[in-house]
Amino acid sequence: MIKREHWGSRLGFILAAAGSAVGLGNIWKFPYMAGENGGGAFLLIYLALVFTIGLSVMLAEMVIGRMTAKNAIGAFAKLKGGAWPLVGLCGVAAAFIILSFYSVVAGWTISYMVKSITGALAIEDPAALGSIFGGFIADPVSPLIYHAIFMALTVFVVLAGVGSGIERASKILMPALFALLLVLIVRSVTLPGAGEGIAFLLSPDFSKVTWATVSEALSQAFFSLSLGMGAMITYGSYLSKKENIASSAGWVTLLDTSVAVMAGLLILPAVFAFGFDPSAGPGLTFITLPAVFAHMPMGSIFAFMFFLLLGIAALTSAVSILEVVVAYFVDDRGISRKWASITVGVIIFLLGIPSSLSMGLMGEFKIFGLGFFDLMDYVSSKLLLPIGGLFISLFVGWVVWGKAKEDIAAHNGVVPFWINGWGIIVKFIAPLAIAFILLKGLGVL
């Protein structure tokens, strides 16, 4: 048997895990969700959920991974067996589903990088940009080509392995991402009239908050932190016992959340400065922002930088989603990393085709009233991830609590003072809160 790989350094692990967390969820989804759900009020609820349930489940996942040095399914099998590996199996299923539509949107960002260079986006009128976007995503061929390119890039990184593929790519791409983000924020908040956007994001209006808002914030927290499907179990499984795992989980949570807030500070002030509508929904980054860039001097360069930023963020996340599936086939099915990456990559590409076509040709095709893309998104972010998080909490809190405590203390032999607080969250608060919010959001309660 080949020895299991480890991360080369603590920084390498933190950057890879933050790379997983920071993605389209932070830059594309978070600002428009805040825009649609009352700005600061959404932000506050989101922050409260992230630093209680989110952080606790993040730590729980990393601990499960490190204790077993196994993939998401194998980890549960090794620790307990019975029906528990089903939690990992749902995670692997979620990985197929999420990556299939994630890669479609990531493909759009590559196309928009090209469009910003060619000047095709240098148009000030959002309506015209809306028809460009609508025309592009409804096209039966072009988005599929970009979807294929993006999946190929993802496969390329994963097949190179944990150290020379994922860690190396993260160490180059994550600093680039932070640099681009800073440049763009400085540009955005120094626009005349930007203050209103900042105020919108930071001052809470609770009149718009309903249980639906809270449930949106919860699924967003799971999606954004890459929780509930075993990505952090898988990344944690390559950690050595010498690392301070709790502090790593804290760093990853903090980095992910800061990037979401920074993306809000990048997008909302610019949108307000030019008098656009912050609740423009998913089109905010592909329609409203290009209009904003078109109003700026050297706008094409900023537009290119923005879509590059989005593409990089998407790539390091996609890599972690593919790794969840590949690690399972490599560990438990004895398939080579190369073949597992390529085969799974092709299957996910194929699964993404109906999602892409649901924006055009298959627009009329609905299941439970949802188009294919929306259905995939709903099933994974609204159901599979929170439910996965619920069982992961219960597992750590009730089934392997003693071992989990030991693992947390493994690097220095000291059980941290907050351990029982974490225990209360994973045993009671997280499972109950997730179940309650889920049922409220579904309208069952």
Q: Where along the sequence are the contacts to ligand TYR (CB under 6 A)? A: 20-21, 23-26, 98, 223-224, 226, 229, 231, 317, 320-321
**Closer to ligand TYR at the Cβ: 69 or 321?**
321
How many whole angstroms separate alpha carbon 44 and alpha carbon 156? Answer: 38
Q: For the CB of residue 218, give the shortest distance to ligand TYR in the complex, in Å.
A: 14
Length of the chain, please?
A: 445
How many whole angstroms separate alpha carbon 141 and alpha carbon 135? Answer: 11
Q: For the CB of residue 29, give the shortest distance to ligand TYR in the complex, in Å.
A: 7
Angle between helices 85-118 and 299-333 (to 10 degrees): 150
Q: For the CB of residue 411, give the shortest distance to ligand TYR in the complex, in Å.
A: 25
How many whole angstroms separate alpha carbon 422 and alpha carbon 328? Answer: 28
**Closer to ligand TYR at the Cβ: 69 or 318?**
318
Cβ partners under 8 Å of residue 182, min gap 6: none
| Lookup: tokens for 257 | 């959340």
DSSP state of 242: T
The residue with tokens 């294929």 is 148
Report the chain's terminal Cα–Cα distance, integer Å.
51
Assess contact for 110 and 150: CB atoms under 8 A.
yes
**Closer to ligand TYR at the Cβ: 224 or 393?**
224
Q: For the CB of residue 21, give the shortest distance to ligand TYR in the complex, in Å.
A: 5
Q: For the CB of residue 402, give the shortest distance to ligand TYR in the complex, in Å.
A: 27
How many whole angstroms separate alpha carbon 158 and alpha carbon 346? Answer: 13
**Closer to ligand TYR at the Cβ: 59 or 194?**
59
**Closer to ligand TYR at the Cβ: 45 or 252?**
252
**Closer to ligand TYR at the Cβ: 27 or 184?**
27
Q: For the CB of residue 30, give the shortest distance to ligand TYR in the complex, in Å.
A: 8
